[in-house]
Amino acid sequence: MRNDLEFFQKKIGVELAKSHGLTSKEYKTILELIEREPTITELGVFSAMWNEHCSYKSTKKWLRTLPTTGPKVICGPGENAGIIDIDDGDALVFKIESHNHPSYIDPFQGAATGVGGILRDIFTMGARPIVTMNALSFGCEDKNKVNHLLSEVVNGIGSYGNSFGVPNLGGELRFDESYEGNCLVNVFAAGVVKADKIFYSGATQSNLPVVYLGAKTGRDGIGGATMASSEFNSEKESERPTVQIGDPFMEKCLLEACLELMKTDSVISIQDMGAAGLTCSAVEMAGKGKLGMELDLDNVPIREIGMHAYEMMLSESQERMLMTLSPGKETLARAIFKKWDLDFAIVGRTIKEDRFKVFHNSKLEVDLPLQALSTMSPEYNRKWKIKRENVKSPSIQKHALKPIECLKTLLSNLNYCSRKIIWEQFDHMVMANTVLPPGSNAGVVLIPENDKAIACTLDCTPRYCSQDPVLGGKQAVTEGFRNLIITGASPLAITNNLNFGNPEKTNVMGQIVGCIQGISEASIALGLPVVSGNVSLYNETDGEPILATPTIGTVGLIRSVSDLIRIKANSMDRLYLIGNNTGHLGQSALLKEILKISGRDAGPVPEINFSEEINAAKFIAELNTKKIIVGGHDISDGGLILATAEMCISNNLGIKIDESDIDWLFGEDQGLYLLVCPEKNIPLFEHVTKKFQIPFQIIGTFGGDLFEIGNDQIPLNELKSLHKNGLNHFFPLTIWTIYSIVSGLISGKTP
């Protein structure tokens, strides 16, 4: 909080600039640009617009190398969200963003406002949100800390999303010691809009009224964007700024009011107030239109008395929008927002001059060249080195490993056990459009009033990315591609959330560059343009960075729900493995979670063959079109044995697998799928395999209540119990567990 008089009377200079996250060189550049010392508010504005979170100054150079165009792309990076054409005049608006540092400081509000922020990005463009997902990463050493963080983050996500009324279809959850002091909360959202009804953020002409909409401005979140652009350390714990406070019910009203106004041809441009609040929204709106802007803070609705211009410009109070209107439409717009009980205030106008002027108490507090804040922010070519070591797979005593025991360990492991206890706290059925719930190969929702559906997935394997950034980046994109293929979708585009440590460190910057190179190569090879995204850097505490975690959100189109592929099997159905399984154990879950071997000691990352990936995708599409298969599952962490166990648990069916080789069972070769074929369709299945020259073999036949590997076996119910209960201690008293206990008592059975 910056409301103390002493702060606003501090001497302006390089030391104060450094406390705002600016370097001495950056401060010198500011002095040269404006030819004087800045005011305290101007310094705050520069610090907000030139920090890593808003300017991407360490990554701009590399983000430009990503493929961002394609036949289906309507809008690529640079707007509130990306947009792709999904046919029939419909468009999909989607994006992923992080709320990492706020969620560590205040896990409930940090996660909740992360959901609120990504939803505003979607409906700002005229789309109604239809789905959210999240990718969460936590430490695992301090049990009390992870208990607190996980439960509160999940509560925050559920509280906001459930109240707003948009389905949450799960996503990713991982645990690793590298996230101990810096959890990751990445939130994805998508919405639909008519392709001819899209709204953008850039103002188009001068002398347009600039309108403030939504909630009042308070002191919450001041300096949040700057805080997100610096490392944590134990000494700074007490100095961290207040996290934003969200109100999902007000945001729901804001959504409806904005969409209602958008139907009136009144809106010229619109921008949500997220990071850096009014500063960033105003600068971006004017900057994209190559205009200037004047603001009068005396007209801004506030909820706290005595607010300084600095506080009002940098506040990150939630549920706020900035809009430019067609002249003469102010009365109409005001009436709509009054109906929804939201603030409406004309706070400025666009101007021709390249100036950003801010008045408060009739005093000019900010007078800066606007382009200096938007397009002239620093851009760095930091030193980097990609770590791609020639490492050998470790020599392990495979004969000492019993497949069943290894499988039991993985199924109960925090990283691979059931996430149902978390998903139950998210409303995935609100809006009644959910086709595939959390826990499937991908989340699937119907497009309202349509037979088409959208499939979406979030993917990343950080241990791959940290050991070999290029291959790790490729794999993250390709895994998302596979998840959509095995759902029956046509993959269309991706969004990314690049979570890394301090870019000023050569090795971390190398991870960033390498992952972007890998993402780019995979995106081009698979025809998946990158249309939106977010960069979150300085994710480290006391100098220890997180694992490189470039989360990839992939979206695809299912032409008809009849084309959907589920994780489904029936008794006597055959389970086929397709693809080349060489038993690659390097960087595998087996080594990490069972043998406790990680980093370079865990060997090389598995390679990706894009031609094989594309051929397998075409093969599965033909099988699906001809209704030869009834279900399927991709193979990733834990190899084919973990994927098989998940299928058996999902369908309550056992299986017998004759092969017992550890490499073959737990290897993580890429491009592998499990496909389920009824006995009657086997000739057709194998005929199509010959057409595509796809390697295949029969794993086993579904049936019974035992899971058998070679000469060893285990009751399926035992596997189910291990898988189900892995996260229970985090949520001892969920609604579901209370219901189960009560039901058990009533029925006389032990729940």
Catalytic residues: 53, 99
Residue 132 phi, psi (nearest 5): -130, 155
662/604 Cα distance (integer angstroms): 18
Q: Which residues of 641-650 are buried (b: 16+ CB within 10 A; e: fewer)?
A: bbbbbbbbbb
Beta-carbon contacts of residue 184 (< 8 Å; ≥ 6 apart): 98, 100, 135, 136, 137, 499, 536, 539, 546, 549, 551
Rounded to 10°, the helix 639-651/403-412 angle is 70
* Contact indicator for 237, 250 with CB cutoff of 8 Å: no
Give the separation between CA 91 and CA 192, rounded to whole angstroms. 6
Sequence-ordered list of residues with C-beta below 8 angstroms from that of 510, at least 6 positions apart, any chain: 384, 385, 386, 387, 469
The answer to whether the beta carbons of residues 315 and 222 sit under 8 Å apart is yes
Task: Give CA separation, 329 vs 125, 272, 333, 413, in Å.
Answer: 19, 20, 6, 58
Residue type for position 221: G
CB 561 within 8 A of CB 446: yes
User: What string of DSSP letters covers 291-358?
Assistant: -EEEEEGGGS-BSSTT--HHHHHH---SSEEEEEE-TT-HHHHHHHHHHTT-EEEEEEEEESSS-EEE
71 class by beta-carbon count within 10 Å (0-12 exposed, 13-18 middle, 19+ buried): exposed
Residue 625 to residue 614: CA distance in whole angstroms: 17
Q: How many helices (H) and strands (E) does the chain have?
A: 27, 28
Please classify residue 654 by burial: count the beta carbons closer than 10 Å to its beta carbon, then call 0-12 exposed, 13-18 middle and 19+ buried.
buried
**Helix, strand or coil for residue 702?**
strand
Rounded Cα distance, 674 and 581, in Å: 12
Q: For residues 181 and 456, what is the distance between their CA atoms, to the nearest angstrom? A: 29
Q: What phi and psi values does residue 287 have, to the nearest 5 degrees?
A: -60, -40
Question: Helix (H, G, I), strand (E, B), or coil: what is residue 161?
Answer: helix
How big is the CA angle at 483 (ends 442 and 98), to the nearest 5 degrees? 65
What six digits make up the tokens of 148? 């607190």
Distance from C-alpha of 495 to C-alpha of 517, rounded to nearest angstrom:
15
In whole angstroms, give the CA distance from residue 606 to residue 36.
56
Distance from C-alpha of 581 to C-alpha of 669, rounded to nearest angstrom = 6
Q: Which of 293, 442, 403, 404 is nearest to 355 (CA)?
A: 293
